[in-house]
Chains A and B, each alone.
Chain A
């Protein structure tokens, strides 16, 4: 049961470098999300997608970009990495249950990024 797969698990970047965090899910979920988690803080939504070809900003989108060309994949792009982007990044997906209920979020194991 793969679920949500994130790569890489760890990465160190220099200031100004760019990189892409990969996320793939094999559950045919409509919704996908990128969160960041900082020490002692809750999860902050960066971007989300309600289906292939449709993405939208979350609470903290600055410095990031996403794309959703397929149902399965939802990569997160960091352009011009900054120390403030040092964090643990979680990709998640959820099914469409109904308009009255939130679908359960299934999270990947996280990608720990350090920007020096």
Chain B
């Protein structure tokens, strides 16, 4: 089935550093979502993007819906230890994304933060 290419696969950074990760698709998406999964927990939505070029922030997190509609980026500024976890991108090419049944998920970026 269709998959998103999410990179990097893993990152190990020092506390205070900025982090960037991205997802690319071979097809055009109408929705990009970024979720975070803490160890032993289910994913939690961080940011949702619905419009090409859209730039949205959630605290220290900023995500962008790429102009080509085939990619999205997530940046974390001034990382802290609680940023540790797996970050997933998810996207949908459905024109009417009334539910999540057509979401395609990336394989995740595992983030480790050294205090």
* Given A92-B42, A109-B42; A104-B48 close (CB under 8 Å): yes
- The listed residue with most B CB atoms (<10 A of its CB), out of A44, A45, A99, A102, is A102
Confirm or deny: A90 has a beta carbon within 8 angstroms of a beta carbon on chain B: yes
What is the interface size of chain B, counting residues whose CB is below 8 A from a CB of the partner? 28
Q: Is the pair A43, B45 in contact by a Cβ cutoff of 8 Å?
A: no
Q: What's the Cα separation between A97 and B42 when bound, in Å?
A: 21
Main secondary structure of the interface of B (DSSP, over half): loop
Interface residues of B (CB under 8 A from A): 1, 3-4, 31, 33, 35, 40-45, 48, 50, 88, 90, 92, 96-101, 103, 105-108
Q: What's the Cα separation between A40 and B108 when bound, in Å?
A: 8
Confirm or deny: A74 has a beta carbon within 8 angstroms of a beta carbon on chain B: no
What is the interface size of chain A, counting residues whose CB is below 8 A from a CB of the partner? 32
- Selected contact of B100 from candidates A59, A99, A100, A105, CB within 8 Å: A105
Q: Which of A57-116 contact B (CB under 8 A)?
A: 58-59, 90, 92, 94, 96-105, 107-110
* Given A59-B1, A109-B40; A48-B97 close (CB under 8 Å): no
Q: What's the Cα separation between A110 and B4 when bound, in Å?
A: 23
Q: What's the Cα separation between A111 and B100 when bound, in Å?
A: 21
Q: Is the pair A31, B100 in contact by a Cβ cutoff of 8 Å?
A: yes
22 contacts across the A-B interface (CB closer than 8 A): A33-B100, A40-B108, A42-B88, A42-B105, A42-B106, A43-B90, A44-B105, A50-B99, A90-B42, A90-B43, A96-B98, A96-B99, A101-B97, A101-B98, A102-B92, A102-B97, A102-B99, A102-B103, A104-B48, A105-B103, A107-B42, A110-B40
